Structure 1
Amino acid sequence: MRRIQLANGTTVEVECLSCALVNGVVEPDGGVIYESDYFHAHQDVAYPIRGLVILASKRHVKSLDELTEEEKIDYIQVLSKIRESQRKVLGIEYVYYFYNEDTTHHFHTWMVPRYEWMYDFGRSVESVRPVLLHARNEMNDDENMEEVKKSIAALTVELNR
C-alpha cells in the first residue's frame, strides 16, 4: 500500500491511485468528467488550470502497446471527444498531450491547455513543467479553484450529452 496525499489534503492508502480513481474508491475533486467502457477522465485540481484533463485507462496497464484494439479505438475516440469539448465549451485553442510509461500509475494521458499567460514560461514543451508548478503554487486560491470547478462541470455536461 502507498500513502498518498490528495490535492484537497486528504490522505489515502492505495495500491495504485489510478485504479482507486477509475474504480470509484477515490473521488476526484470536481468528479468524473467522462467515462467510457475503457477510459476515465478527470482533472487533477492540484494543477488548477481550466480544462486540464487526465484520461486514464481503466485496466491496469503501463503503455499504449498493451492496450487491446478495442481500447486503442476507444482511446482515440474519447481523446478526440474531450478535445472537441475543450474547444467548444472552454474556447481552448491549443493543448499539449503527455503520457509516460515510467510512472507508478497506469496508462494515462495529460491534456494540458495552453493559455496566453503560459507563454511567459516559453512556447515549447519545456515550458509545461514550470507552468504546472506555477499553477500548483500560485493559482490555488478560491476564485481560481471556483473557475476550474465550473470548467469541470461544463465539460462534464458537454461530454455526457
Structure 2
Amino acid sequence: MREITLSNGKTVAVECLSCAITNGLIEIDGGVIVETEYFHAHQDVAYPIKGLVILASKRHIKCLDELNEEEMIDYINLLSKIRKAQREVLGIEHVYYFYNEDTTHHFHTWMVPRYEWMNEFGRSVESVRPVLLHARNELNNGENVNRVIEGIDALREELNK
C-alpha cells in the first residue's frame, strides 16, 4: 500500500490510485465525466485547467499494446468523443495528449487543453509541465476551481446524452 495525498488534501492508502478511482473506491473532485465498460474519464483537479481530462483503463494494464480489441475500439471512440466535446462545449481548439508506460498507475491518457494564457510558457511539449505546475500553484483558487467544475459538468452532460 502507498499513501497518496489527493488534490483536496485527503490522504488515502491504496495499491493503485487508478484502480481505486476507476473502481469507485475513491471519489475524485468533480466526479466521473464519462464511463464505459472499459474506461473511466475524470479530471485531475490538482491541475485546475478547465477541460483537462484523464482517460483511464479500468483493467490494470501498463501499455497501449496490452489493450484487447474491444478495449482498443472503445478507447479510440471515447477519446474522439471527449475531444469533440472539448471543442464543441468548451471551445478548446488544441489539446496535448500524453501517456507513459513507466508510471506507478496503470494505463491512462492525459488530454491537456491549450489556452492562450499558456503561451507565456512556450508552445511545445516542454511547456506542458510548467503549465501544469503553474495551474496547481497559482490557479488553485475558488473562482478558478469553480470554472473547472463547470467544465466537468458541461463535458459530463454532453458525453452522457
TM-score over 0.5 (shorter chain):
yes
Are residue 132 (structure 1) and residue 135 (structure 2) matched? Answer: no
Distance 2:48 2:14 in 1: 24
TM-score by length of 2: 0.99
Give the Å deviation of 1:6.
0.2
Q: Which residue identity is paired with 2:84?
A: E
Are residue 66 (structure 1) and residue 56 (structure 2) matched? Answer: no
In structure 1, the partner of 2:146 is 146
Q: How much is the aligned-residue C-alpha RMSD, in angstroms?
A: 0.3
Q: Which residue identity is paired with 2:27?
A: E
Superposed CA deviations along residues 93-124 of structure 1, whole A, max 9, x for unmatched, are: 00000000000000000000000000110000
Distance 1:97 1:145 in 2: 22
Give the Å deviation of 1:154.
0.4
Give the Å deviation of 1:62.
0.1
Alignment of 1:5-154 (within 5 A): 5-154=5-154
* Structure 2: 5+ residue stretches without partners: none
Give the Å deviation of 1:146.
0.4
TM-score by length of 1: 0.99
Give the Å deviation of 1:148.
0.3
Distance 1:37 1:98 in 2: 22
Runs of 4+ in 1 over 2 A off after TM superposition: none
Please state whether the residue corresponding to 1:102 is helix, strand or coil.
coil
Give the Å deviation of 1:128.
0.3
Please state whether the residue corresponding to 1:113 is helix, strand or coil.
strand
Paired residues in the alignment total 161
Give the Å deviation of 1:130.
0.3
Please state whether the residue corresponding to 2:149 is helix, strand or coil.
helix
Distance 1:44 1:7 in 2: 8
Give the Å deviation of 1:68.
0.2
